[in-house]
Amino acid sequence: MPWTPLPDPNGPPPTNLGDVLPLVVEGLGAPSVDVLVLVHERWPEVVGEEVAGHARPLGIDGSTLKVAAESPTWASHIRWSEAEIVARLSVLLGRDEVSSVAVRVARN
């Protein structure tokens, strides 16, 4: 393929990144940005205020919610509460975005 300078004055106009980014994210199988924002904003409702002060969501990988806890004790609590957290997220998100929780102890 020969090199041609961009943009081609006779070609289509450039596409806005904001118009194609959701398609790229969807193609990768990642949750939408709206889902991630909602999980972060409503985290205290999902796990309770006390737990939310000691653990935070990091993101969603496939259908696994990744969580960082500040100590092994809080990590164990999250693991013990996994079924309840998944159920609350299903209600909050209105679908099965999250089917499991993986927690690790955060390094300070």
pLDDT digits (tens, 9 = 90+) for 40-92: 999 999 999 999 999 999 988 888 999 999 999 999 999 999 999 999 999 99
Of the candidates 87, 65, 66, 85, which has an alpha carbon nearest to the alpha carbon of residue 77?
85
Closest CA to 85 of 66, 104, 62, 72: 66
Please, are residues 80 and 70 in contact by the beta-carbon 8 Å criterion? Answer: no
**How would residue 99 be classed by pLDDT, with cut points 50, 70 and 90?**
very high
Quick check: 19 pLDDT over 80?
no
Name the residue with higher pLDDT: 82 or 7: 82
Q: Domain locations in the chain?
A: 31-105
Q: Average model confidence (pLDDT) for the chain?
A: 86
Which residue, among 85, 95, 86, has the nearest Cα to 47 in the 3D structure? 85
Identify the pLDDT of residue 15.
78
Is the pTM higher than 0.75? The answer reads no
Paired tokens of 49: 């205020």
Beta bridge partners of 61: 64
The CATH number of domain 31-105, selected from 1.10.260.40, 3.30.300.180, 3.30.360.10, 3.40.50.150: 3.30.300.180
